[in-house]
Structure 1
Amino acid sequence: MRPLLLLFFLALTSSAAPRPNVVLVLADDQGWGETGYHGHPRLRTPVLDEMAASGLRFNRFYSAAPNCSPTRASILTGRHPNRSGVFAPNHSTRPEEITIAQILRRAGYRTGHFGKWHVGAVKAASPTNPAHMGYEEYLAHDNFFEMNPPLSRNGADPTIIQGESSQICVDAAVEFLRKVRVEGDAPFFVTLWFGSPHSPYSGLPDDVALYADEPGKDLRRRFAEITAMDRAIGRFREALREMGEADDTLLWYTSDNGVTIEGVPEDQRGGLFNGVWRGHKGDLYEGGLRVPAIIEWPAVVAEPRSTDVPAVTTDMFATLLGLLELRHPDPDRPLDGWDLSPVIRGEAVAERPSPIGFWRYDKASETGNERWMDAELTHGTTPTTRNPGIDFVNYKHPVAKTEDFGGVAAWTGNRYKLVRFGSKPPELYDLLADPAETTNLAAKQPERVRSMLQQLTDWQRSVEVSLTGADY
């Protein structure tokens, strides 16, 4: 019977419908309001505006954390970043984590990563470089980069590549796609993670000149980076069309956290725009977590649509597994994401089934850290153009105590959001009636607060179990 069963499964495999290509595009520090389609009064993003007008626009999309490395880990693993000790920027993910790139590669996808990595060192010896986490090719940087970036190709010593950084990433990604097509018809999975518009800011003179009326050079350069990134995304889309791949490529764009004030002097911050949202990068208020998000996939999203269903970067993993009909190799491993396939296919979905947990574990990220890997392997090899002396270091979490749930946490449902600052009284907001989070309802709705606080604590205990390594 074994040969017959083998032939049966081979027949199923050969007759299965071709799987779509997948490209995950990630901006670095681009806030919700920093697009034309979200109403920015001056910023020019014609490509993103076109995508929003023709694709699926998420009106309520969140980054899993209000800062960089944690959100990137959430996309790769479908788990809250604290489960693997990625509490804050420069915290490495763990080699034992299972990534979406690993799963798709085993399913026959060609995999490439281009741009910022920031969940471990990218050099060849690092156990958490893109190659070890599922990518066959990569051109990457450990952390942020700007014009003329020094980048590592497949773990080699970094070399400076002259030019605008977003376009460099796109050129490398397109080169990879053309190679994939020369070699066969396998689907491709690409993470295109830009270094823009993270500080320090720089821009092409023509792009900077577009914003001559802005109050200072830092803001002008920041906006120039966003416009250059927008243009690079447009050229990537053009390449997909030229290759005949656009219709069946799921192109998913978002950002890693809300708008930042880093690198923008106080006298220039009036030029920033983030809608009505309270707070900015680093906060668990909406301004630190709400990010732009669009899916362009003509074969499935044939008409422009938008959704108000809350979604988060952690959902991207589960969604791809659902859309591609793939199973997680470790079904017992806790995941925090929800499969958005019904939303993408246009089914009537009004709410997500469970709240989204956020947890910025400040105590873990700032004190008592121990190395997760050999000390040498935690150090990066890719300097920045303006600060070549920087040596990025990645950390492991300290010992977690079950009774210690310090830091800032939030529990965000379809309507209500609970925010808790350590031992201080929790705050409760009605995001539908009060999206700017101006009115704390905790005193008026104590039962709801107690219920949501218990749910949050139960979820944090689950995260703490993962921190101990129990999932491996």
Structure 2
Amino acid sequence: MPTLPVSRTRAINLSVLVAFASLMAFSIWIGNASAADRPNVILLMGDDHGWDETGYNGHPHLQTPILDQMAATGLRLDRFYAAHPTCSPTRGSVITGRHPNRYGTFTPNYSIRPEEIGVASLLKQADYHTAHFGKWHLGPVKASSPTNPGAFGFDEWLSHDNFFELNPWLSRNGGPPQQFQGESSELLIDHAIEFLQKVPSDEPFFLVIWYGSPHEPYSGLPEDLALYDELPSQFADQTTRLTSNETGLPVQRPLGDVLRERYAEITAMDRSIGTLRHWLAANELRDNTLLWYCGDNGTSGDGIVTSPLRGQKSDLYDGGIRVPGLIEWPAKIGQPTTSQIPSVTTDILPTLCELANVDVPRRPLDGVSLVPLVEGRMKQRNQPICFWSFDHRRESNRDPYLPEEAQQGTTPLVKLMRGNATRNFVNYHHREIEPQDFGGTRVIMDDRYKLVVSADGSKELYAMQADPNETKNVLANQPEIAQSLTDQLQAWQQSVLESLTGQDY
């Protein structure tokens, strides 16, 4: 083989080195660009925090300056819905992107099923650091539980089986419950920040922070209570029923005193979000962190005194399922935007999977990605949203899905249930579809109309854009629309029931 001159050899080597360096630089640039496009994510959820209970939605008493600021600078989802009018089912919808009836989480204290695929597990595929703080309520949080946060992809958790007040009991990574002193919303944020301080600055994180506030029984710090000292006199002639902080049993109390405490909890929760946002900004993380706040269902009966919406917690009218919905992501949402396009908690999983470039599970989902909405490209929703309060009264006659020990909670709370200061869970095998399974109140809603089918089969149709308070039933004037929505609803119920029997596993 002929020998090349030394000068030419050096030139070729230099060219190779330059090309290699250029390729490495390009690879590094691609990697950094990919990381920059992949946001950190923090999901925040209030407990029983209904749509009207924010300053930005016009509440006459509440002070929520942080949520108001997020609404003024980010993406304000004015028609954002919880997937269910109660807490455990909605929380399951966030984790799975699926309606909770698909896996038997019909109502509070029904657990999720271990075979479900959670959003934290999916984001771990994209090397996200994951953690859960606060209310779980999808099964026990103890280490031996097959439905604890760790089983659903969270690297760390400081969590409670249900809700909590001041000085809460929480379990760290499934260990024995410990009592923490302080205001519970602020405690969660303090521990979330401790977790974030351990995450390498160039690696993404996914946090779920589910508050115990403002669920009753209520309490508050003196400085927060003082903001609402005028309320007792305004509601002096009314009382309401809720849990006693002293006995854990039901009690009648003056409504003004109750609202004063409830609003103090919401203000403390709002302030804690401000603490988190400030820390993110100080550590140059806020721009590329997607912060998403919502409630888990509408306002409970002891607190719903100002809402213009029809219904309350447990109802499928908007007062029971429409909740505050805010997305803040300064790197991508540079201008304040308000959307009237319906969206729901089942949309969270497909949205985050698209942002992280992770495939969604190959099983029926009930949500859609809202990335086009975040980017300003979505003009209308491409599929309706369905709600369903399943008639679960016959379920206790079926075989338990998990052993009793696996469903026993450990973390104490004030409110007693059958004398128990913790929460235990149930779920049942539902092996065959029966005609009665299609019962219960159910709803289907698209951009314009909402069809409500009551448990007795009667129907109501509302034009939601013109009549958001659901005051005028237009069923008689729109029979074709009602029939089309009815057909779609029945097909969706069939799909849900097939999932419930375990066909997706």
| Fold match by TM threshold 0.5 | yes
CA contact (8 A) 2:429 2:501 kept: no
Matched with 2:421 is: 390
Matches within 5 A, 1:56-455: 56-181=75-200, 185-214=202-231, 215=235, 216-261=256-301, 264=302, 272-274=305-307, 276-328=308-360, 330-331=361-362, 333-347=363-377, 349-364=378-393, 367-368=396-397, 370-385=399-414, 387=416, 389-397=420-428, 399=430, 401-404=433-436, 405-455=438-488
- Alpha-carbon distance, 1:422 to partner: 2.1
For 1:209, give the aligned amino acid. A
2-structure distance, mates of 1:54, 1:301:
8
| Structure-2 change in CA distance of 1:369 and 1:224 (3 Å) | farther
CA contact (8 A) 2:125 2:358 kept: no
- The superposition leaves residues 146-168 of structure 1 with CA deviations (integer Å, 9 ceiling, x where unpaired) of 10000000000111100000001
| Structure-2 change in CA distance of 1:258 and 1:240 (3 Å) | same
Matched with 2:67 is: 48
Matched with 1:3 is: none
SS of match in other structure, 1:252: strand
1-structure distance, mates of 2:205, 2:145:
24
1-structure distance, mates of 2:376, 2:503:
38
> Structure 1: where are the runs of 5+ without partners?
1-6
Matched with 1:4 is: none
For 2:371, give the aligned amino acid. S
Greater than 6 Å deviation, 4+ residue runs: none
- The superposition leaves residues 405-457 of structure 1 with CA deviations (integer Å, 9 ceiling, x where unpaired) of 11110001111111011233211111112111111122232222222111101
TM-score, normalised by the number of residues in structure 1: 0.92
For 2:211, give the aligned amino acid. F
- Alpha-carbon distance, 1:366 to partner: 7.0
Residue 33 (str. 1) matches residue 63 (str. 2)? no
- The superposition leaves residues 64-119 of structure 1 with CA deviations (integer Å, 9 ceiling, x where unpaired) of 00010011000010001110111101111111100110011121000000010011
CA contact (8 A) 2:165 2:212 kept: yes
2-structure distance, mates of 1:365, 1:101:
33
CA contact (8 A) 1:87 1:364 kept: no
| Structure-2 change in CA distance of 1:67 and 1:319 (3 Å) | same
- The superposition leaves residues 156-206 of structure 1 with CA deviations (integer Å, 9 ceiling, x where unpaired) of 01111000000010011000000113xx52100000110000011111111
CA contact (8 A) 1:365 1:397 kept: no
For 2:478, give the aligned amino acid. Q
SS of match in other structure, 2:476: coil
- The superposition leaves residues 246-289 of structure 1 with CA deviations (integer Å, 9 ceiling, x where unpaired) of 0000000111011111xx2xxxx5x7222x21000000001111
- Alpha-carbon distance, 1:370 to partner: 4.3
SS of match in other structure, 1:26: strand
CA contact (8 A) 1:20 1:249 kept: yes
CA contact (8 A) 2:295 2:325 kept: yes
Indicate the RMSD between aligned Cα atoms, in angstroms: 2.0
For 1:345, give the aligned amino acid. E
Matched with 2:7 is: none
> Structure 2: where are the runs of 5+ without partners?
1-22, 236-255
For 2:126, give the aligned amino acid. A
For 1:458, give the aligned amino acid. A
SS of match in other structure, 1:218: helix
For 1:376, give the aligned amino acid. E
- The superposition leaves residues 343-364 of structure 1 with CA deviations (integer Å, 9 ceiling, x where unpaired) of 10122x2210111010010335
SS of match in other structure, 1:316: helix
TM-score, normalised by the number of residues in structure 2: 0.86
For 1:383, give the aligned amino acid. P
For 2:382, give the aligned amino acid. P
- Alpha-carbon distance, 1:208 to partner: 1.1
2-structure distance, mates of 1:15, 1:248:
13
Q: Which has the larger radius of gyration?
A: 2
Give the share of equivalent positions with the same residue, in percent.
51
1-structure distance, mates of 2:424, 2:224:
33
CA contact (8 A) 1:166 1:195 kept: yes
| Structure-2 change in CA distance of 1:364 and 1:336 (3 Å) | farther
For 1:201, give the aligned amino acid. Y
CA contact (8 A) 2:310 2:319 kept: yes
Of 200-209 and 357-366, deviating more is 357-366
| Structure-2 change in CA distance of 1:386 and 1:69 (3 Å) | closer
